[in-house]
Amino acid sequence: MRIAALLRQQIADGTLRPGQPTPSITTLSQEHGVARQTAAKALRVLEDEGRVYRVPGLGYYVAAEKPE
């Protein structure tokens, strides 16, 4: 998924920092010309990977870095 890969890269390079909100589903869908469901799926993929977490009613936020 292109959107998930882009967000993954932004998290890796520090553009999106831990605790910072990700772009909203609406923003992602408009910027990338995809359906809202597609943007939501990209965020769910990142949530499943532990890279972001969801706060109901507020959106998705970048998770703290995992120690390696």
| pLDDT digit string, tens, across residues 4-52 | 999 999 999 999 999 999 999 999 999 999 999 999 999 999 999 999 9
| Residues 39 and 29: beta-carbon distance below 8 Å | yes
Q: Structural domain tally of the chain?
A: 1
Give the list of residues 6+ apart from residue 55 with CB closer than 8 angstroms, or none.
61
Confidence tier at 67 by pLDDT (50, 70, 90): very low
pTM here is 0.89
Taking each helix axis from N to C terminus, what angle separates 36-49 and 25-32, rounded to the nearest 10 degrees? 120
Confidence tier at 65 by pLDDT (50, 70, 90): confident
Q: Look at residue 66 in the predicted model and tell me its pLDDT.
A: 61
Query: Is residue 67 in a domain?
Result: no
What CATH number does the domain containing 31 carry?
1.10.10.10
Angle at alpha carbon of residue 27, lines to 64 and 24, rounded to 5°? 35
Give the structural domain span for 33. 2-62
Query: Is residue 68 in a domain?
Result: no
Single out the residue of 18, 2, 15, 5 nearest to residue 52, CA to CA. Answer: 18
